[in-house]
Amino acid sequence: MRDHDFPAPERRTRGRRRFDDDEPHLAKRGRKAEPQPVDLDPLPDAGTWSSWDDAVHGPRPYPAWLVTELAARDTELGVLKTGKEADVHLVRRAVPDTDRSCLLAAKRYRDADHRLFHRDAGYLEGRRVRRSREMRAMTRRTAFGRQMIAGQWAAAEFAVLGRLWEIGARYGTITVPYPVQLRGTELMLEFLGDPDESLAAPRLAQLRPGEADLRDLWGQLVEALMVLARAGHAHGDLSPYNLLVHEGRLVLIDLPQVVDLVANPQGPEFLARDVRVVATWFAARGLPAALADPLALTEQLLREAGLR
């Protein structure tokens, strides 16, 4: 690799467990997933010392809202989202007896026995590890190999979030949540939403924007995809379900499967699929076809990435 939501869990359904990011099932049944508030009263005995000290940190300068004091404590507040490969928890990091606190989204990839590695093969092309034993284990999907892949997902997401955050901060086009820290297979991210009500920002799929807002969101999306392409990446699994809208700003989330457009031979195909999925959503809600042209946008992005 180069340089460097959250509604509550769905209840169990007949035959298999439903995850709230199973987009096709939500779409087929016509269900509208409403964000649910999380109880801000701490869980019993959930407070621990801040994990900041033994983690890999996000890019500097650290945001002013972020609590980095080693005297802080991390308190579990509940589950924000369940997914196929990871669960997202709400954590409050606060310095006792002060007003210094912040809310964080802790994304925890499941262990090798509980993850659904349904997307690994294509996405991991172009990613390599140095030791042949580890590469063979990952290819054969042994228990050790699956754990290696889990670590790669977390590290890949953290690295690309840091890179995109730095690019966005430089040019004033922040398109991702701030990546706070990485510890093993856990990512701590900026919580996007209403901190007073503990409501996460809605996903694009939940919204029904008017004409002006629709055009504005499409413009923001094209800009975000340009940032990704210039960094040599495609999202790899882009849809209205992993785009948040926070205070009018469109934010990309869920990037563990980010694709290297040069090293991965399937990179252009992943990019074309990303564009087709989101363009279809915008066109279905009234965006003129001349604007939401997936072929034209894909070609433009490939040129930005230096592949045309």
Task: Encode the chain (308 residues) as per-residue pLDDT tens digits.
Answer: 444 443 333 333 334 333 344 444 434 444 444 555 555 555 544 479 999 999 999 999 999 999 999 999 999 999 998 887 899 999 999 999 999 999 999 999 986 554 444 455 554 455 444 455 544 544 555 555 555 566 678 898 999 999 999 998 888 888 999 999 999 899 999 999 998 877 899 999 999 999 999 999 999 999 999 999 999 999 999 999 999 999 999 999 999 889 999 999 999 999 999 999 999 999 999 999 999 999 999 999 999 999 98
Tell me, yes or no, whether 35 lies in a domain: no
Residues in the chain: 308
- Are 50 and 188 in the same domain? yes
- Are 179 and 242 in the same domain? no
Contact status, residue 242 vs residue 258, Cβ threshold 8 Å: no
Two tokens, residue 152: 């790669």
Among 228, 267, 273, 224, CA closest to 244? 224
End-to-end CA separation in angstroms for the chain:
21
| pTM, to two decimals | 0.77
Two tokens, residue 207: 């919204």
- Are 179 and 229 in the same domain? no
Helix (H, G, I), strand (E, B) or coil at 254: coil
- Are 184 and 157 in the same domain? yes
The pLDDT value recorded for residue 17 is: 36
Count CB atoms within 10 A of the CB of residue 297: 23
Measured distance CA(2)–CA(121) in Å, rounded: 19
- Are 126 and 159 in the same domain? yes
Number of domains in the chain: 2
The pLDDT value recorded for residue 132 is: 55
Two tokens, residue 104: 């964080």
Tell me, yes or no, whether 3 lies in a domain: no
Tell me, yes or no, whether 40 lies in a domain: no
The pLDDT value recorded for residue 266 is: 93
Measured distance CA(52)–CA(156) in Å, rounded: 20
Residue 54 dihedral angles phi and psi, to the nearest 5°: -110, 30
Residue type for 137, please?
A
- Are 209 and 98 in the same domain? no
- Are 71 and 112 in the same domain? yes
Tokens 């972020």 belong to 66
Tell me, yes or no, whether 32 lies in a domain: no
Residue 117's domain is classified under what CATH number?
3.30.200.20
With b meaning 16 or more CB within 10 Å and e meaning fewer, what string describes 19-43?
Answer: bbbbbeebeeeeeebebeebeeeee
- Are 261 and 240 in the same domain? yes
The secondary structure of residue 203, as a DSSP letter, is B
- Are 96 and 222 in the same domain? no
**Domain hosting residue 293, numbered range:** 201-307
Count CB atoms within 10 A of the CB of residue 134: 15
Tell me, yes or no, whether 227 lies in a domain: yes
- Are 59 and 129 in the same domain? yes
- Are 214 and 242 in the same domain? yes
Strand partners, 49: 73
Residue 43 dihedral angles phi and psi, to the nearest 5°: -70, 150
Tell me, yes or no, whether 26 lies in a domain: no
- Are 212 and 274 in the same domain? yes
Measured distance CA(114)–CA(46) in Å, rounded: 23
For residue 228, give every residue at least 6 positions away whose Cβ sits within 8 Å of its Cβ, in sequence order, or none: 164, 175, 234, 235, 252, 301
Query: Cis peptide before 61, with omega less than 30 degrees from 0?
Result: yes
Residue 241's domain is classified under what CATH number?
1.10.510.10
Tell me, yes or no, whether 6 lies in a domain: no
Domain boundary among 176, 196, 216: 196
